[in-house]
Chains A and B, each alone.
Chain A
Amino acid sequence: MLKRKDYDVIVLGGGPAGLAAAIAASESGASVGLVEREDRLGGILKQCVHDGFGLVRFGERLSGPEYALRYIDLAKRRSMEIHLETFVHAAREERVPPEGRRIVLECVSGAEGVYEAAAQALVLATGCRERTDRQVFINGDRPAGIFMAGLAQRLVNIEGLLPGRRAVILGSGDIGLIMARRLTLEGMDVEGIYEIKPEPSGLSRNIRQCVEDFGIPLHLSTTITEVHGSRRVESVTAAEVDARCSVRVGSERLVDCDTLVLSVGLIPENEIARSLGLSLDPATRGPRVDQVGRSEIEGVYVCGNALHVNDLVDYVSESGEAAGAAAAAFARGGRERDGAGAGLGGLPLEAGPGFLYAVPQTIDLSRRGKAVVYFRSDSTIKDGARVTIKAGGATLIDRHYAALRPPEMERLELDVASIPADADSVLLVLERKEPSRA
């Protein structure tokens, strides 16, 4: 018989989402187990030594470790059990006769061996992963010297190792831009950043302070088509692309470098969610949830970057808090236990044309108060846009934006009580403003 630990709520992942969820669940009176596979709490914030975190939440420009420490200090003051260096390899639902059920996690740690952790409610705060060189199309060799941007960041900021001497960066996502600056400051020569799209993927402020400040060339509508080198990267082929991302023949050129850094996107990590049988929204690549992060399975909640890749950690913490508090309420047999039931209840939140996605996927009308809706546009709109939220013939929110860009997530607060009782869905509508004619 395996050793078993029992909790009201287990939070899987000790990054910003999991920390916020565990603190909120504990504050709501639940017994909490927080499970983290690394030897320290903080998640990816540990290696994000740059600043700019917490502007929304704290009105301060914190570095990643500083932001994490605020939550770690709060977590340590609560009576939760923190399991570090603990890996969860599967999760399952377990029936408890006559009508009860629990979520059981299969855990392994160096300190405690193989054991099970069981809870009434599970919060998945498993974050996201980087897309790898196997998930983007690049011809040629795979010698040493190809790093995902987050891996390069870990090597430099945690391990104290410089990945090489002369780097080419593929992709203009924020981590790639941050690493362009970081590698430059650590003495590497960053030859350039190559972005296949006609506009940068990262935040404008990072283009300014990480790229332009250091005179690093940013090549738009340009990609890396081939890697050359036998043992170590020796060069890459860069080529311009047309509007359909096809390579312009004759534009290829060889770029000498010993390091290729990939910043080509993040994907929510949901292996445990899948082992429980949760389906994923193809637009977000995270599980489908209501406004507090409740998934299709009763008692299972999802928050942070596991749900969708956020632009700011402040919103990751916000969603963690909502999920942790709801999980605790459920575990302690509150109102929710009766109301929610099986499946994902509530009205579907449907994002119309022009949106990349919207989260949550449903609004549960039995949860009073505000529902936070996050969305991204699917293309850059420079001339102004209007976003409305409509339900049952009523317009609930009407917001004007000077500009919308896919890298920048937008956030709206919807008063659940304002949704008409006869509504059968909630619609998110995007209208572009006609460019004014001078």
Chain B
Amino acid sequence: MPETLRILCIVCPRGCALEVDVGGAPGNQVLAVRGNACRRGEEYGRREAIDPRRSLTSTVRAAGLSRRRLSVRSSSDLPLGRLVDAARALDPVVVTGPVKLGEVVVRDILGLRVDIVATDDIGA
């Protein structure tokens, strides 16, 4: 029996109320997405029903530089269930030299094949 999930799209501030039909064999499959205003909404609905993912944004410590923190983000979305673990893994990270926007700060965090990159410049 197909099941309909009601999912709020968080891709943009418009916040479409999606209806995602899930069912079929083997396992769960997305059969249809309704209520989306754009293609990205459909993609979000498909993924959210099966494998919810989120971007991680945070900061890491900066030592001997012009500021105390450097803002960072995940290079792509992480599994929602690993978000807190990934944030914890950033606790001991320290940058000690100048970094440019987009530079990799942590490669392949927790083996999830996602990098942590700088979202700001920081100088000496």
B120 in contact with A65 (CB, 8 Å):
yes
With A and B bound together, what is the CA distance between A158 and B61 in angstroms? 10
With A and B bound together, what is the CA distance between A69 and B88 in angstroms? 27
Q: Given the known A-B contacts A66-B120, A185-B87, A187-B88, are A205 and B59 also in contact in the complex, defined by CB atoms under 8 Å?
A: no
Q: How many A-B residue pairs have CB under 8 A?
A: 76
A205 in contact with B13 (CB, 8 Å):
yes
Q: Which of B12, B15, B68 contacts A160 (CB 8 A)?
A: B68
A185 in contact with B69 (CB, 8 Å):
no
With A and B bound together, what is the CA distance between A52 and B14 in angstroms? 12
Q: Given the known A-B contacts A157-B69, A158-B68, A408-B13, are A63 and B119 also in contact in the complex, defined by CB atoms under 8 Å?
A: yes
Q: Which of A49, A159, A208, A209 contacts B119 (CB 8 A)?
A: A49
With A and B bound together, what is the CA distance between A69 and B120 in angstroms? 7
CB distance from B76 to the nearest CB of A (A): 11
Q: Given the known A-B contacts A185-B58, A204-B15, are A66 and B84 also in contact in the complex, defined by CB atoms under 8 Å?
A: no
With A and B bound together, what is the CA distance between A13 and B82 in angstroms? 39
Residue-wise, chain B 65-81 has the 8 Å CB interface mask toward A (1 for contact) of 00111011100000010
Kindly identify, within residues 385 to 438 of chain A, every residue whose CB is under 8 Å from any CB belonging to chain B.
408
Number of interface residues of A (CB under 8 A): 32
Q: Given the known A-B contacts A51-B73, A156-B59, A186-B87, are A66 and B54 also in contact in the complex, defined by CB atoms under 8 Å?
A: no
With A and B bound together, what is the CA distance between A158 and B122 in angstroms? 12
* Chief secondary structure at chain A's binding surface: helix
With A and B bound together, what is the CA distance between A203 and B11 in angstroms? 12
A65 in contact with B61 (CB, 8 Å):
no
Which of the four size classes fits the interface of chain B? Answer: 20 to 34
A55 in contact with B88 (CB, 8 Å):
no
Q: Given the known A-B contacts A61-B55, A69-B121, A187-B88, are A203 and B15 also in contact in the complex, defined by CB atoms under 8 Å?
A: yes
A160 in contact with B54 (CB, 8 Å):
no
Please name all residues of chain A whose beta carbon is closer than 8 Å to the beta carbon of B55 when the two chains form the complex. Answer: 51, 61
Q: Tell me whether B104 is interfacial, beta carbon within 8 Å.
A: no
B13 in contact with A63 (CB, 8 Å):
no
Q: Tell me whether B30 is interfacial, beta carbon within 8 Å.
A: no
With A and B bound together, what is the CA distance between A63 and B70 in angstroms? 12
Residue-wise, chain A 136-178 has the 8 Å CB interface mask toward B (1 for contact) of 0000000000000000000011111000000000000000000
With A and B bound together, what is the CA distance between A46 and B69 in angstroms? 11
Q: Given the known A-B contacts A63-B119, A66-B120, are A49 and B57 also in contact in the complex, defined by CB atoms under 8 Å?
A: yes
With A and B bound together, what is the CA distance between A160 and B101 in angstroms? 19
CB distance from A306 to the nearest CB of B (A): 22
Please name all residues of chain A whose beta carbon is closer than 8 Å to the beta carbon of B68 when the two chains form the complex. Answer: 158-160
A158 in contact with B10 (CB, 8 Å):
no
| Closest Cβ neighbor of B9 among chain A residues | A205
With A and B bound together, what is the CA distance between A208 and B8 in angstroms? 7
CB distance from B17 to the nearest CB of A (A): 9
Please name all residues of chain A whose beta carbon is closer than 8 Å to the beta carbon of B15 when the two chains form the complex. Answer: 203-205
Please name all residues of chain A whose beta carbon is closer than 8 Å to the beta carbon of B12 when the two chains form the complex. Answer: 55, 205
B69 in contact with A63 (CB, 8 Å):
no
With A and B bound together, what is the CA distance between A204 and B18 in angstroms? 13
Q: Which of B8, B69, B73 contacts A158 (CB 8 A)?
A: B69
A69 in contact with B101 (CB, 8 Å):
yes
With A and B bound together, what is the CA distance between A405 and B91 in angstroms? 38
With A and B bound together, what is the CA distance between A408 and B119 in angstroms? 27
Q: Given the known A-B contacts A49-B59, A185-B83, are A209 and B121 also in contact in the complex, defined by CB atoms under 8 Å?
A: no
A160 in contact with B69 (CB, 8 Å):
yes
14 contacts between A and B (CB under 8 A): A49-B59, A49-B72, A65-B101, A65-B119, A157-B69, A158-B68, A160-B59, A184-B84, A185-B58, A186-B58, A187-B91, A208-B8, A208-B10, A311-B13
For the complex of A and B, list the 5 residue pairs with the smallest distance between their C-beta atoms, beginning with the closest. A65-B120, A185-B87, A49-B71, A205-B10, A63-B119
